[in-house]
Chain A
Amino acid sequence: MSTVRHHILTVHVENKAGVLARVAGLFSRRGFNIFSLAVAPTDDARFSRITIVVDVESAPLEQIVHQLDKLVNVVSISELSPADAVQRELLLATVEASPAERSQVIQLVGVFGGEVLDVGATRLTVMLAGPPEKLDDFERLLETYAVADLQRTGLVALPKIDGRSVRPLREPATA
Chain B
Amino acid sequence: MKLTGAQALIKSLEMEGVEVMFGLPGGAILPVYDPILGSSIRHVLVRHEQGAGHMAEGYAMVTGRPGVAMVTSGPGATNIVTALSNAYMDSTPLVVITGQVPTASIGTDAFQECDITGVTMGITKHNWLVKTAQDIPETVASAFHVATTGRPGPVLVDVPKDVSFAEMDWHWPPALDLPGFRSPSAPETADVQAAAALVASATRPVIYAGGGILKARAVEELRVLAERTGIPVVTTLMARGAFPDSHPQCLGMPGMHGNYTAVTALQRSDLLIALGTRFDDRVTGRIDAFAPGAKVVHVDIDPAELNKVRRADVAIAADCKLAIGALAATLEGAPAPDLSEWWSQLRRWQEAFPLYYSQSDEPPIKPQMVVEKLRDLSPDDTILVSGVGQHQMWAAQYWRFDHPYSWVNSGGAGTMGFAVPAAIGAKMGRPDRTVWAVDGDGCFQMTAQELVTASAERVPVKVAILNNAYLGMVRQWQEMFYGERYSEVYLSPDLPDYVKWAEAMGCVGLRAESPDEVGTVIEKANAIDDRPVVVDFRTDAFEKVFPMVPAGASNDDIVVHPAQASGR
Contact = CB atoms under 8 A, between A and B. Distances in A.
A72 B146 contact: yes
Contacts of B125: 70, 72
Contact of A72 (B118, B129, B180, B308): B180
B307 interface: yes
B121 A69 contact: no
Interface string A1-23: 00000000000011001100110
A164 interface: no
Contacts of B126: 71-73
A74 B307 contact: no
A47 to B, nearest CB: 8
Interface stretch (A59-67, A87-95, A99-107, A134-142): A59-67
Nearest to A171: B182
Contacts of A69: 303-304
A74 B121 contact: no
A70 B304 contact: yes
A75 B180 contact: yes
A60 B307 contact: yes
B182 A173 contact: yes
A25 interface: yes
Nearest to B151: A70
B180 A14 contact: yes
Interface string B195-211: 00000000000000000
The residue among B117, B126, B146, B181 with the most chain A CB atoms within 10 A of its own CB is B181
Interface string A68-86: 0111111110000000000
Contacts of A76: 180
Given A63-B308, A66-B303, A14 B179 contact: yes
Nearest to B117: A18
Nearest to A11: B180
A173 B117 contact: no
Contacts of B303: 66, 69
A172 to B, nearest CB: 6
Interface in B165-207: 178-182
Nearest to A13: B180
A139 B100 CA distance: 48
A104 B85 CA distance: 59
Size bracket, chain A contacts: 20 to 34
Interface bin, chain B: 10 to 19
Contact of A74 (B122, B180, B304): B180
A25 B146 contact: no
A22 B121 contact: yes
A33 to B, nearest CB: 17
B122 A172 contact: no
A18 B119 CA distance: 12
Contacts of A72: 125-126, 146, 178, 180-181
Contact of A29 (B117, B118, B122, B182): B122
B181 A173 contact: yes
Interface in B482-522: none
A70 B302 contact: yes
Contacts of A74: 180
Given A66-B303, A66-B304, A70-B304, A21 B118 contact: yes
Nearest to A67: B304
A71 B146 CA distance: 11
Interface string A135-175: 00000000000000000000000000000000000001101
A99 to B, nearest CB: 49
A21 B304 CA distance: 20
Interface in A14-65: 14, 17-18, 21-22, 25-26, 29, 60, 62-63
Contacts of B181: 72, 173
Nearest to A76: B180
Contacts of B121: 18, 21-22, 25
Contact of B129 (A13, A17, A66): A17
Given A18-B117, A62-B307, A66-B304, A173 B122 contact: no
A173 B304 contact: no
Contacts of A18: 117-118, 121, 129
Contacts of B307: 60, 62-63
Contacts of B180: 13-14, 71-76, 172-173
B243 to A, nearest CB: 28
Contact of B179 (A62, A66, A172): A172
Interface of A: 13-14, 17-18, 21-22, 25-26, 29, 60, 62-63, 66-67, 69-76, 172-173, 175
23 contacts: A14-B180, A18-B129, A21-B121, A22-B121, A25-B121, A25-B122, A26-B122, A62-B307, A63-B307, A63-B308, A66-B302, A66-B303, A67-B304, A69-B303, A69-B304, A70-B125, A71-B126, A71-B180, A72-B126, A72-B180, A75-B179, A173-B178, A173-B181
Given A66-B302, A70-B125, 11 more contacts: A18-B129, A21-B118, A66-B306, A70-B302, A70-B304, A71-B126, A72-B178, A75-B179, A172-B180, A173-B181, A173-B182
Interface of B: 117-118, 121-122, 125-126, 129, 146, 178-182, 302-304, 306-308
Which 5 residue pairs across A and B have the least CB separation, nearest first?
Answer: A66-B304, A72-B126, A75-B180, A173-B182, A66-B303
